[in-house]
Amino acid sequence: MRILHTSDWHLGRSFHRVSLLDAQAAYLDHLVATVREREVDAVLVAGDVYDRAVPPLSAVELFDRALHRLAASGVPTVMISGNHDSARRLGVGAGLLERAGVHLRTDPENCATPVVLADTHGDVAFYGLPYLEPALVKDALRADRAGHEAVLTAAMDRVRADLATRPEGTRSVVLAHAFVAGGEPSDSERDITVGGVAAVPAGVFDGVDYVALGHLHGSQRVTDRVRYSGSPLAYSFSEADHRKTMWLIDLDADGGIAAEERIDCPVERPLARLRGRLDTLLEDPALDRHEQAWVEATLTDPVRPAEPMARLARRFPGTLSLVFDPERPPDDPGASYAQRLRGRDDHQIAEDFVAHVRGGSGPSDLERTVLRAAFDDVRVDETVREVSR
């Protein structure tokens, strides 16, 4: 069984206010061509089809054209909703689409109802676990608590129970949208932290042959059988060094990985992160190769130079982001607020604030629990509002 694992299309997203619609269309052309040329048996899309719950019409039209082309190819597609998608909107018409070979899995309660496809070696059961917001699905999945690990464990218990009823030798593939421990994040993924815990252990997915993950934008292995395809396009400058690919996986008769390949995605325009004093960036011949790239420039001049963006744009017309990080001694009291917060999450910043106003005495364990619960409640409220719009 040859599967093509992809995720995180984020249709409708822009890059520093530059539309990516043409680049996304080129990627979908490449996807359909790969399906045909490489004789793929199943296409897997592991969530974040759209960039937001209510996508622009142009993104919906692009998605519609992609579905028609995939259906016309005669190759089944299995797709789940991610944390950026509105599961209910994405799932509209799922019953009709299923007749055309496009299998949408957006309802957490149906996570143990697989799409069963067959090859010469027998059946392969594809289980779709849409993004599981713990506070919203805990009761439906009968999880013992509201946490990512708890709800994913409850969902996987259902998957394993269903798989146990299948004929002996049935192979299994799970699609999931989550942050799994060992994965390397980037700046463009929306935070899904609950209770201060962002990641779940890969062992949650024990008992299945392959796990097609979405959410993290870098293509990577967590284990040999648990992998992220990554996003097909770069959505932040933190992804400048990513190789954007899809996984082409061949499952053998026993569910092992008989062959694997990373299929490169088309790159419309590369990214470059440049750092240094303005005069150096403007004069260094080693930077010639970045003149047609999208550029993030970090200027280290001790004094902010005049008209830096206009001057950079003359050499690098694709300059989209300008950051100032002046060279200062480590003990300089003028260090910026942003520098002091770098690498710290919302919970840590809040705890530091408590320590600051108390003259150095940080929050107690109980107060930390209250702070984390408050952040979680705000994030869940935002999710609910977005889904209900």
pTM for the model stands at: 0.84
Average pLDDT, the chain: 90
Please check whether residue 30 is in contact with residue 64, taking contact to mean a CB–CB distance below 8 angstroms.
no
Q: What is the mean pLDDT of residues 6-20?
A: 97
pLDDT interval class at 335 (50, 70, 90)? low
Confidence (pLDDT) at 389: 56
41-71 pLDDT, tens per residue?
999 999 999 999 999 999 999 999 999 999 9
Q: Is the pLDDT of residue 331 over 90?
A: no
Q: Is the pLDDT of residue 384 over 60?
A: no
66-117 pLDDT, tens per residue?
999 999 999 999 999 999 999 999 999 999 999 999 999 999 999 999 999 9
Q: Is the pLDDT of residue 124 over 80?
A: yes
- The mean-pLDDT minimum among 24-38, 194-208, 325-339 falls in 325-339
Q: What is the mean pLDDT of residues 152-165?
A: 97
Confidence (pLDDT) at 199: 85
286-316 pLDDT, tens per residue?
999 999 999 999 999 999 999 999 999 999 9
271-282 pLDDT, tens per residue?
999 999 999 999
